[in-house]
């Protein structure tokens, strides 16, 4: 596995480090990503784009999981930045996919800027992927970042538009509203993060602000009811075991770019009005039993 900052993971064989460390000046987001990539497994981290394609920045706060995305929990065991590579994430994406054509499943769990840049640098990049799993977008016109937009798509609508319209590989999308409709009870969450071992303890720390945020200000609770949603895990679980997707909608998709209230909203085209050849699979039904088993196994203490 490789981690491409922000929000991309590629599954492939483990390799030893090529670039030992960046030393001083490594950005905080890469340090945070590396914290999540520890536990005695070397996972290279590549720094990606610093801003969206057109350089706009949202002014709304991002504090669902704390200001750093990891619960604002200090890491007393931080050992440095050995996993952070000098190679840019977009260059690494193109290189790795070219070296393993047809073998890489890419899981995108953040804004799609790096993927959009990859197809601009190498137009053949999408067709070399095995498949692409995305956590992002929305199917019901309900948003968590804006009134109609989901966070990952709203943070870079142009990039989402490029990916949804120009990637020809099999594409599976776990939309925000889909994940919310398949939320987990808070009782499961309490048991999940209370397992023995460092992994569960780490997860408990980085999700420490999640429940308070959900109860106080979350649109998720208002629109879909109370519960824990491990958003990115739905896309990753589908990439690991596709049978967890028990039902999906196959149709063309795009992204609205100009609407005053709808910019960044994902557009579904089941009636083929857009006349697009490529279609995406939008997750609709979910095997919660398999999903909870995958989540539980992920935090179990290694023997």
Q: How many Cα atoms are found within 13 Å in the side-chain-facing hemisphere of 116?
A: 21
72 — alpha (psi -120 to 50), left (phi > 0) or beta?
left
**Is the pLDDT reported for residue 233 higher than 50?**
yes
**Measured distance CA(33)–CA(171) in Å, rounded:** 25
Given a cut of 80, whether residue 66 has pLDDT beyond it is: no
Residue 43 vs residue 27, higher pLDDT: 43
Listed in sequence order, the DSSP H helices in the chain are: 28-35, 89-99, 113-121, 125-128, 151-155, 157-166, 176-181, 186-192, 198-206, 210-217, 219-224, 231-240, 288-299
Report whether pLDDT(4) > 90.
Answer: no
Q: For residue 202, what are the contacts with CB-CB under 8 A and spacing of at least 6? A: 36, 39
Give 231's DSSP letter.
H
Reported as a single tens digit per residue, the pLDDT across 86-137 is 999 999 999 999 999 999 999 999 999 999 999 999 999 999 999 999 999 9
Taking the CA atoms of 289, 291, 295 and 300 in sequence, report the sign of the dihedral they define.
positive
Q: Is the pLDDT of residue 138 over 50?
A: yes
User: What structural domains and CATH numbers belong to the chain?
Assistant: 2-299 (3.90.245.10)
Inter-helix orientation angle 288-299/198-206, to 10°: 110
N-to-C CA span, the chain: 21
Q: Among 48-62, 188-202, 208-222, which range has the highest average pLDDT?
A: 188-202
The rounded percent of the chain whose pLDDT value lies above 90 is 63
The pLDDT value recorded for residue 303 is 45
Q: Is 276:166 a contact under the CB 8 Å cutoff? A: no
pLDDT top residue among 65 and 136: 136
More confident residue, 42 or 10: 42
DSSP one-letter string for 149-209: --HHHHH-HHHHHHHHHH--S-EEEE-HHHHHHT-B-HHHHHHHTTSSSHHHHHHHHHTTT
Please confirm whether the linkage preceding 52 is cis (ω < 30° from 0).
Answer: no
Q: What is the pTM of this model?
A: 0.85
């Amino acid at each position: 596995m490789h981690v491409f900052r922000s929000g991309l993971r590629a599954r492939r064989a483990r390799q030893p480090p090529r670039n030992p460390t960046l030393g001083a000046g490594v950005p905080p987001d890469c340090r945070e990503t590396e914290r999540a990539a520890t536990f005695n497994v070397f996972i290279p981290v590549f720094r990606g784009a610093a801003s969206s394609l057109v350089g706009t920045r949202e002014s709304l706060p991002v504090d669902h999981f704390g200001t750093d995305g990891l619960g604002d929990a200090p890491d007393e065991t931080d050992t440095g930045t050995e996993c952070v590579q000098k190679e840019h994430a977009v260059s690494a994406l193109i290189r790795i996919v070219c070296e393993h054509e047809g073998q890489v499943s890419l899981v995108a769990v953040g804004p799609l800027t790096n993927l959009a840049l990859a197809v601009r640098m190498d137009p053949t990049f999408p067709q070399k992927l095995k498949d692409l799993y995305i956590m992002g977008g929305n199917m019901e016109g309900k948003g968590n970042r804006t009134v109609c937009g989901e966070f990952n798509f709203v943070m870079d609508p142009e990039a989402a538009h490029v990916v949804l319209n120009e990637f020809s590989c099999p594409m599976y999308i776990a939309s925000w509203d889909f994940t919310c409709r398949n939320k987990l009870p808070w009782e499961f969450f309490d048991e999940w993060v209370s397992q023995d071992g460092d992994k569960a303890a780490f997860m408990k720390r980085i999700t420490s602000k999640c429940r308070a945020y959900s109860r106080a200000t979350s649109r998720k609770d208002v629109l879909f009811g109370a519960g824990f949603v491990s958003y990115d895990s739905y896309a990753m679980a589908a990439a690991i075991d596709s049978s967890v997707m028990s039902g999906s909608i196959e149709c063309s998709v795009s992204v609205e770019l100009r609407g005053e209230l709808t910019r960044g909203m994902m557009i579904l085209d089941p009636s083929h009005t857009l006349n697009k050849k490529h279609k995406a699979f939008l997750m609709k039904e979910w095997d919660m039993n398999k999903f909870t088993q995958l989540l539980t196994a992920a935090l179990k203490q290694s023997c």
